[in-house]
Structure 1
Amino acid sequence: MDLDLALYGDEPPMPTESSTQEGKAMYEQWERSNRLSLMLIKSSVSKSIRGLIPECDKVTDFMKAIEEQFVKSDKALAGTLMQKLSGMKHDNSKSVREHIMEMRDITAQLKSLEIEISKSFLVNFILNSLTLEYGPFKIS
């Protein structure tokens, strides 16, 4: 069906009266692929995200706009995760092990966003998040 033609192929020149039948057919095929791909992608993207993306006539422009939107979202998410990690305090509502595992989970999420937290830095975060009753543990 050549639905991906608009995604992988460049837009052919718009046909004129002097264009060949092959050129006209190629443009029509690309235009159909572009229109169908754009409809399919727009229907797959949630409304909350779709509202943030400007209107585009070409599927490749729409994909670039989505990519730019997620780069912005990734930066915001990274900032939120860093704030959460640096502000975490153990409050005895869960075990120390669960608290540490939660902090490791946040660092894994940061790593997926290409923000590397060293082990020694993570250990400092963990030790600083523990309450005073863990003072002897911090010293050792």
Structure 2
Amino acid sequence: MGRILGIDHGDVRIGIAMSDETAFLASPLTTVLNGKAAADEIAALVQEHNVETIVIGLPLNMDGSAGPATEKVRRFSKKLASKTDVPIVESDERLTTVTAHYNLREAGLDGKKRKGVVDMAAAQVILQDWLDAQP
């Protein structure tokens, strides 16, 4: 298995995480501003790091149903798919941002410092959860 890229799609920033070469461990990579060039920037990261799969967090409602945020992510996923031939898989991201905030707080980051890295940390949680679920 090669590198896997994880995405936490937000309204302002998109958090990006990357697996190691063995697809065992996820690490935060960067954030991308959510704008017109976001899909192109992520496609460039995919090519630069020889990514073979993209995992995008799907923000489902707590009851598992899809809502407006789910549709927004799916539209972005389609746009990204038009920029790369790497497969994109959806992964349930319920409570990943809460988990990321908790992990960062436990690591001693205060509110202002957490704000700058929480998107990457949430992408890391999404990706690590997906990696852990693979056989």
- TM-score band w.r.t. shorter chain: under 0.3
More strand by share: 2
More helix by share: 1
Larger radius of gyration, structure 1 or 2? 1
